[in-house]
C-alpha cells in the first residue's frame, strides 16, 4: 500500500496529491490511499510500503499538520527506510520542498525521486510531473 499524505486548505496541494496518487495507481499491482495529514491513522499508515508527502508552503515552511506527521514518526521505527517522495505547492516563495526533503532525511525515510514543486494549482506540466512522481514511487515500492 502506498500512502499519499498531504495538507491543503484551498485545494492546490490536494489536486497535486490526487495526481501523485493517480500516477502511483497506474502501476500494476499498486494500491494507493490518499489521506490528509490531519486524518491520518498512524497505526494503519505504519504498515504502508511507501509514502508520498505533500504540503503547501506556509511561511517558507511546511503546514503544521504535515510537521506533526514528521514529529510523530521521528522515533517510530515502523516508518524507517521506506521509499518516499515529496511534493509541494507555493505562492512564489518556493521554500517548502527543501524543508520537506530535510524532514524526510531527519526521520530516515528513503527518498527515491526528486520532489515536485508547483506554483498554485497544477497546470498540465505540473499534472504530468505529479503523475510521474507517483509512478516513480510505486515502481520503487515494488
Ligand atoms: C498562512 C499562509 C502562509 C503562506 N506562506 C507562503 C510562503 O511563505 N511562501 C509561498 O510561496 N507561499 C505561501 N503561501 C501560499 C500557499 O503556499 C499557496 O497558495 C499554496 O498553493 C496553498 O496550498 P493549498 O491550496 O493546498 O492550501 C501561504 C499561504 C497561507 C495561507
Model confidence, pTM? 0.98
Q: How far is the CA of 2 from the centre of ligand 1 (A)?
A: 26
Per-residue pLDDT of the chain (142 residues; tens, 9 = 90+): 999 999 999 999 999 999 999 999 999 999 999 999 999 999 999 999 999 999 999 999 999 999 999 999 999 999 999 999 999 999 999 999 999 999 999 999 999 999 999 999 999 999 999 999 999 999 999 9
Q: How far is the CA of 35 from the centre of ligand 1 (A)?
A: 20
Kindly write down the DSSP assignment for every residue of 59-107, as one continuous string: TTB--HHHHHHHHHHTT-GGGTT-EEEEEEEESS---HHHHHHHHHHHT
Contact 126 CB / ligand 1 (< 6 Å): no
Residues 5 and 51 sit within 8 Å (Cβ to Cβ) = yes
- 3-class secondary structure, 109: coil
Amino acid at each position: 500500500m502506498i500512502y499519499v499524505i498531504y495538507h491543503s486548505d484551498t485545494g492546490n496541494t490536494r489536486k497535486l496529491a490526487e495526481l501523485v496518487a493517480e500516477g502511483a495507481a497506474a502501476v500494476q499491482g499498486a494500491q494507493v490511499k490518499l489521506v490528509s495529514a490531519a486524518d491520518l491513522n498512524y497505526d494503519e499508515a505504519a504498515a504502508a510500503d511507501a509514502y508520498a508527502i505533500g504540503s503547501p508552503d506556509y511561511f517558507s515552511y511546511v503546514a503544521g499538520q504535515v510537521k506533526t506527521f514528521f514529529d510523530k514518526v521521528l522515533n517510530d521505527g515502523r516508518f524507517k527506510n521506506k521509499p518516499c517522495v515529496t511534493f509541494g505547492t507555493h505562492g512564489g516563495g518556493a521554500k517548502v520542498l527543501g524543508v520537506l526533503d530535510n524532514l524526510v532525511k531527519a526521520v530516515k525515510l528513503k527518498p527515491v525521486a526528486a520532489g515536485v514543486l508547483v506554483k498554485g494549482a497544477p497546470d498540465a506540466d505540473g499534472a504530468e510531473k505529479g503523475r510521474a512522481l507517483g509512478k516513480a514511487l510505486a515502481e520503487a515500492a515494488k
